[in-house]
Amino acid sequence: MSKTALITGITGQDGSYLVELLLDKGYHIHGLVRRTSQFNRERIDQTRSQAAAKGQTFELHYGDLADASSISRVIAKVRPDELYNLGGQSHVGVSFEEPEYTALVDALGVLRLLESIKHISPTTRLYQASSSELFGSTGGRPANEQTPFRPRSPYAAAKQYAYWTVVNYRESYGLHASNGILFNHESPRRGENFVTRKITLGMARIRAGLEQTLRLGNLDARRDWGYAKEYVELMWRILQQQAADDYVIATGESHSVREFVEHAARFAGFDLTWEGSGVHEVGRDAKSGRVLVQIDPRYYRPAEIDVTAADPGKAGAKLNWNPQVRFPELVRIMMKADLERLGIRAD
């Protein structure tokens, strides 16, 4: 018999890939969506039409992670076999500007889901979108499931509350609730104010003559970047395990923002060279002499994580995790998509 999944954050990057995966597996899909002044369902519109054409269930329900009554109403109605909590204020930089809202949604949101599951639908399995931000700065040492947490942003502090609440409800009430501690994962569907997408979109727009320069913050931050489309498969695998547990998901390789810019620029047809230092550093196209990249201190954060590094060994052994898309291929996929969106053929 087909299973039923409820997804919060279904309109986001990860939600949109997860829904495609679960529909392929024959799931009935329900998604929680916020009321917005304009529809923002571009990432799932096509999938929804395809599901309708095949007669597959794909229903959206208004609700908000900040609104407990909407959550319990939807859980009581859907009684999902699996609940994927991908919703939330996901921008670390913005969490310094909106710390209270971030806590309300990212920390207390999962508490509301767990309370509803406990009372209404205790056999529902819950996946919580935890984050590598929990680890803070590990000095370049690869973090695994045993590494202590040291959050460095309101976002990370909220995610830490959520993480431990999931563990606590598992241990106290026997719920099947798991944390996927995912390192950064990107795609052509990534929000435009995350650094990877900002770079690929910016380079494509410069190439198309729509913009002059790309303004960035800390070029030397390093991240373990993987491909979102691959990572959602792991969310599903985590919920198929007999026992609920917590897993680090990452590629095991870290690269700098600077390297990302260099790869993206090359793909867009530029030959980038760096000059100067600090806020005066610029990236110049050696062929034309044009400045393509400038530093804007507005994008520096009050507290930065200089390097994230991961040891995804447990997921490798238990979930058969073996990432296929590595850094250069990820940049290529994103750059190609953004160039093609602007009508520029890219190979």
Judged by the rule CB under 6 A, the positions of this chain that interact with ligand NAP are 8-9, 11-15, 32, 34, 36, 40, 64-66, 86-90, 105, 129, 131, 182, 184-185, 191
Q: How many residues does the chain have?
A: 347
Report the 10 Å Cβ neighbour count for 77.
13
Site string for ligand F7E, 57-96 (x = CB under 6 A): ---------------------------------x-xx---
Least Å distance, CB 190 to ligand NAP, is: 7
Return the SS3 of 135. helix
Smallest gap, in angstroms, from Cβ of residue 296 to ligand F7E? 7
Strand partners, 215: 294
Closest distance to ligand NAP from the beta carbon of 24 (Å): 19
Q: Quick one: 124 or 178, whose CB is closer to ligand F7E?
A: 178
Q: Quick one: which H or E segment has residue 166?
A: helix 154-173
Name the one residue in this structure whose structure tokens are 């803070």. 136
Q: At what angle do helices 195-207 and 327-341 cross, to 10 degrees?
A: 50
Phi, psi of 208 (to 5 degrees): -80, 0
Assess 251 for contact with ligand F7E (CB under 6 A). Answer: no
65 binds, among ligand NAP, ligand F7E, none (CB under 5 to 8 A by kind): ligand NAP
Q: Quick check: 259 and 331 in contact, CB under 8 A? A: no
Please, which of residues 183-202 interact with ligand F7E by CB under 6 A? 183-184, 193-195, 198
Q: Are strands 82-85 and 125-131 parallel, antiparallel or unpaired?
A: parallel
CA–centroid distance for 330 within its chain = 14
Give residues 201-220 in contact with ligand F7E (rule: CB under 6 A): 216-218
Chain-centroid distance of CA 312 in Å reads 17
**The one-letter amino acid at 11:** T
Q: How far is the CB of 317 from ligand NAP (least distance, A)?
A: 21
Q: Does 221 bind ligand F7E (CB under 6 A)?
A: yes
Which residues are at the interface with ligand F7E (CB under 6 A)?
Answer: 90, 92-93, 131-133, 183-184, 193-195, 198, 216-218, 221, 223, 257, 299, 301, 304
